Amino acid sequence: MQYHLVLTEQCNKQCTYCGGTRHVKGIPLTHTYDIDDLVAFMRRDPEPVIGFYGGEPLLVMDFMYEVMDKVPAKAFTLQTNATMLDQIEDRYLHRLHSILASIDGGTMVTDCCRGEGTYDLVTGNLIDVQDRGYSGDIIARMAFSKNGDLYRDVSHLLNLERPHFDHVHWQLDVFWSELGSWGDLEGWLRRYEDGITRLAKDFGDSLREGRVLGIVPFTPVFKTLLTGEPTPHIRCGAGATSFTVMTNGEIDVCPIAPDLPYSQVGDIRESTPQDLFNVLPIGAPCTDCDVLGICGGRCLFSNQTMFWGRDWFDRVCDTTRHLIRELEKQVPLARQMIEEGVLDASAFDYPEINNGCEIIP
């Protein structure tokens, strides 16, 4: 299974999405459990994937190193704001399977939400790790907000040469903020769908050339459309095959809302990985949806809380339906390219492991 390991709740940034260091009652800022308890828990999983998470995990780099030295894992991944990425020692850097770096597009859109100078700092640090020979999967992890233009921002990141992003992933900045803080939410969603349409066309054009554009929300969904094999559970794995170890050793279904009643499902000192499997499946209305096998379900947080109400939940889900429809248009072309030997069907086998990308925006 995959585990988000929250190394710290502290953060050295104050991005508009979350505001910086998180203070949740009962959750300490840094870890308080004995690492031997973490080792014992992980040893009961034959192939654990550990994703370093925060806060900003690189604020406690020494603890990250200790985990990598002591905890057995199939793979390690890192989700980071990348402001300290240049400080990772080479011997640990090269053991990371994937690095998910927070960046929202070009300078303007990144800096307006993450602070002036962030874009240059992040891209400079990514160039540094690539110059040091890092060959793992580097993923641009976007938060798509009111300031974004999906086509512009994704295209910018995909077309960069230094640093080079292998993949781009995004999450919609919905359901976290107060609904009343939005102006023309419907207009924003329509512009987002227009961006999906344009990106799907570029995705199709890349197939003609025998390659697959590194658009994370597209590739696994496209594989399902191509093969007809449904996803067995919510694509991020939350509550099924992916869990979070909080700084106190508590195990939650995902890292974003430890204060909500559905979230806590165990503890590293008392639970086993086998206890956790599929402990909180996705619920209605996702389970009643005709595209569940393709989508896998909306974010578990939004499914459980309906924070903006059912109407807006359904409207955001309409954007996923739109994504599916636009990708369906490219399936005949992909089959043709595979039959002609231009494209290998294995090109759609992504991600290799659960690297922390939720897949469905």
Residue 20: per-residue pLDDT: 78
- 19 or 93, which is more confident? 93
Q: Quick check: is 360 in a domain?
A: no
Task: Categorize the per-residue pLDDT at 13 as very low, low, confident or very high, splitting at 50, 70 and 90.
Answer: confident
For residues 176 and 305, is the Cβ–Cβ distance under 8 A? no
Confidence category of residue 176, pLDDT binned at 50, 70, 90: confident
Q: Tell me the pairing of strands 75-80 and 264-267.
A: unpaired
Residue 82 located in a structural domain: yes
| Amino acid (1-letter code) at residue 209 | E
**Strands 264-267 and 250-252, how do they pair?**
antiparallel
Q: What is the pLDDT of residue 17?
A: 78
pLDDT of residue 5: 98
Quick one: average pLDDT of 122-131? 98
* pLDDT score of 15: 84
Q: Can you give the CATH number for the domain in which 296 is found? A: 3.20.20.70
Which amino acid, residue 228? G
Gyration radius from the chain CA atoms: 20
Tell me how far the alpha carbon of residue 83 is from its chain's centroid. Answer: 18
Q: Assign 179 a pLDDT band (cuts: 50, 70, 90).
A: confident
Question: pLDDT at position 59, please?
Answer: 98
Residue in 219, 272, 286 with CA at minimum distance from that of residue 1: 272
Q: What is the pLDDT, as a whole number, of residue 123?
A: 98
Domain assignment present for residue 349? The answer is no
Q: Which pLDDT value is given to residue 65?
A: 98
Tell whether 175 is covered by a domain: yes
Give 178's pLDDT tier (boundaries 50, 70, 90). Answer: confident
Task: Please tell me the predicted confidence (pLDDT) of residue 261.
Answer: 87
Phi, psi (rounded to 5 degrees) for 198: -70, -40
Average pLDDT over residues 2-6: 98
* Residue whose structure tokens are 């962030």: 118
pTM recorded for the entire structure: 0.96
Assign 85 to helix, strand or coil. Answer: helix
Model confidence pLDDT, tens digit, residues 222-264: 999 999 999 999 999 999 999 999 999 999 999 988 888 889 9
Write down the pLDDT at residue 282. Answer: 94
Total domains in the chain come to: 1
Q: Name the DSSP letter for residue 164.
A: P
pLDDT digits (tens, 9 = 90+) for 203-225: 999 999 999 999 999 999 999 99
- Distance between CA atoms of residues 79 and 57, nearest Å: 8
Task: Identify the DSSP state of 175.
Answer: S
The answer on pLDDT for 19 being more than 80 is no
Asked whether the predicted pLDDT for residue 269 surpasses 80, the reply is yes
pLDDT in tens, 278-294: 999 999 999 999 999 99
- Average pLDDT, stretch 145-166? 96
Please, which pLDDT band fits residue 343 given cuts at 50, 70 and 90? very high
Mean pLDDT score of the chain: 95
Domain extent, residue 265, equals 2-342
DSSP string, 19-82: -SS---TT--SB--S-HHHHHHHHHTSSS-EEEEESS-GGGGHHHHHHHHHHS--SEEEEEE-S
Least confident piece of the model among 162-166, 180-184, 189-193, 271-275: 180-184
Q: State the Cα–Cα distance between residues 128 and 163, nearest whole angstrom.
A: 9
Q: What is the pLDDT of residue 18?
A: 77
